Amino acid sequence: MIGLFLLFLSLPAWALDYQVFEENGKKGIKNESGEVILPASFEALGWSDGSFSVIGQVTGYRSKNQWGLLNLKKEFLTKAEYEQLLYTGGDRIITSKKINPFTTKLGCINLEGKLTIPFTYDGIKINGLRAVVFIKNGSKYEYGLIDLSDKGILPLKYKSIESLGTLRYAVQNFDNKIALFTEQGIKLTDFTIDSLSSFHKGWAIIYQEFRQGLLSREGEIKAAPNYREVKINDDGSVNVRTFDSWKTVDANNKENDLIEADALFPDGDKYRVIKSGKTGLLDKDFKVKITPRYDYLGNFVLGKAVAKKENKYGVIRSDNSVLMPFLFDSLVVDGRLIRVKDKTAGTISWSLFDTVGVRKSEHYYDFIDQYNGRFFPVVARGYFGGMNNFGKEIIHCVYDSIIEAREDRVAVKFKGQYGIISLDENWLLTPQRYPLSVVNNDLYLERQPTVTFLKNLNGETIYFTSNRLKVKENTLIETLTNGSEQKVDFEGRIATSTVAIVEVEKVFPESEGMSGIKRDGKYGFIDSRGRLRVANRYEGIGQFKDGLAPVRILGKWGYVNVSDKIVINPSYEAADDFENGVAVVKRSGKSGIVDRNGNVVLVVRYDKVQRVNNKFILTLNNLKGLADEKGNVLIEPRFDLLEVIDDDKVLVSHAGKWGVLSYSGMNVIPMLYDQLIFVKEKQSYLALKKSEWQKLGL
């Protein structure tokens, strides 16, 4: 069916309310009093889009699956000869009609059934007393403008024509440039505009190269497109603002102008820049490497990156040349190959391309997964297979799933059972009921509900266990019930074991030669030989650091040493591990710092204390400050944000302004900027100054 452009215009309400009724599968019309106006003898009444209305005593009817026009006096104004009959407002009705067995065209009739626009168009959109029309010429559509009697106003030679709602039209040529025209077809501007808004209060916003300007209804440029943003107010006044500006600021607070942009931030040895919502790149010297023009720009790998524009993905090179055109709905670079997804006519298909844009895959797939070291897992018609990096399907898409590929073996699920095949698709282990995973070319794991078996391809059992087994490099790792691990070689021999001498429920990671354990519901510590060193009598534990570990007794936290002696009495709600002789503790909802002797070195009064680089960020009433490891408050909490950026400076922000302070609280960079980003490699800062809105004099 040919798509139609519709514009509904308001009409005065009619005196009577009519309703469709049905009898014996046929439709008729009654008035608001229930009186039959048209008998139930039609397949449908109203319009072919399913809506119903009576306009000037006229409506549409369907007979033998064709549409026509009649009035409420039971007079047929046209025969039922139209494919579609659509009311779009005014006194015109858009219709479509077969002009030969293979071609349907659109035209218009009036409420008397008289043909006013002949059946020569592929699309019609009525705007007041004008109609935008188009025809298909080869593979492209060409637009023109006519009146409602088919008098030509603009010829059928443009890429698009859009009504701007005030007797003005935005006309786009095939170079994607727009000019402003009147409804009489008079050109008011040249074809230099990238985009054009509707008119509001007599003004329209023009867009050129991501900049905005102001245009009058007469086509006069009142403000050249030099602005980041233009805003037309309801009182007819106009506000503008320029682009935000970024500068570099060095350690001596010296500024250097850099670039106009919305956002700028380091990205490896380059800088990512965003301007008017479009992304580009600057090189290490802040020179434009890729002009901001992409809706998305991925990281460059091997000199290429995925990019997106106009809602389609492609691939560009680092010199900004196009490697793959922007034609795809999704695109993933996989080394030197590219997986692409395209959606055509509602069908999703995946293909494999090389980096010069040549399609490698022999078939289209429902999905292509990432390369697993041996092949690309693929899906076709809901079944799994494998494709090599030359695009050849080496494993046919007949499997329920591809479970795992290791060396030259592939574990698969086939018709609900599990087996192992070779890369040339020979069955090495025919399908059976239990899940399998490949160990190497000769061995596999069979996972039954309570036992896991290590077997060879002859089905001989080499090792079995009820514990969890996983393959790691050239060995098996078995996790024992107490949380410890042991290594098992591929001949079933236990190579090493970290089984604790003390029988425990769980073993925690080792720190300073001590491992936390859980036994009989309580916690303690064992040494590297599995001997119980700190009795399991605690409700909770941390890790040993600086010779002390946090422990909880009766709901309170303190610290013990490796001799199981309580060094700091349990009196805290929470206690962190020690580091460099101090630890953060919490009491009555407030945090502070204690030393190894339990002395309070930073009073317990802060909402939060966070260790960063042997300094501590303090939070009090949502404001940030800084203290050193001795508990000296270097900067009182008075900032919305505080970030330690090196050994003697912090980045701070308050009330939307950013600056840099020394640890002693002295200004390094005054708080003048709307954002600051520290670039460690250059020991400098990216500084943002936002533009202010200004009223445009008209």
**Reported confidence tier of residue 269, pLDDT bands at 50, 70, 90:** confident
pLDDT digit string (tens) for 482-494? 667 788 999 988 8
Q: What strands, in cross-sheet order, belong to the sheet with 270-275?
A: 263-267, 270-275, 278-282, 288-294
According to the model, what pLDDT value does residue 1 have? 35
Whether the predicted pLDDT of 33 surpasses 60: yes
Yes or no: say if 110 and 121 are a contact pair by the CB < 8 Å rule.
Answer: no
Q: Percent helix, strand and coil across the chain, each rounded to 5? A: 0, 60, 40
pLDDT digit string (tens) for 228-262? 999 999 999 999 999 899 999 988 889 888 888 88
Kindly report the number of other CB atoms within 10 A of residue 223's CB atom. 19
pLDDT digit string (tens) for 534-568? 999 999 999 999 999 999 999 999 999 999 999 99
CA 310/CA 327 separation, integer angstroms: 9
pTM above 0.85, yes or no: no
pLDDT digit string (tens) for 37-84? 999 999 999 999 999 999 989 999 999 999 999 999 999 999 999 999
Rounded to the nearest angstrom, the gap between the alpha carbon of residue 177 and the centroid of all alpha carbons in its chain is: 30
CA 374/CA 425 separation, integer angstroms: 13
Task: Report residue 144 as tokens.
Answer: 């023109």
Rounded to the nearest angstrom, the gap between the alpha carbon of residue 406 and the centroid of all alpha carbons in its chain is: 33
3 state SS for 595-646: ECCCCEEEEEEECEEEEECCEEEEEECCEEEEEECCCCEEEEEEECEEEECC
CA 668/CA 649 separation, integer angstroms: 8
Task: Report residue 689 as tokens.
Answer: 């100054």
According to the model, what pLDDT value does residue 16 have? 61
Yes or no: say if 467 and 479 are a contact pair by the CB < 8 Å rule.
Answer: yes
According to the model, what pLDDT value does residue 616 have? 97
3 state SS for 491-517: CCCEEEECCCCCCCCEEEEEECCEEEE
The residue ranges of every structural domain in the chain are 19-158, 303-399, 500-606
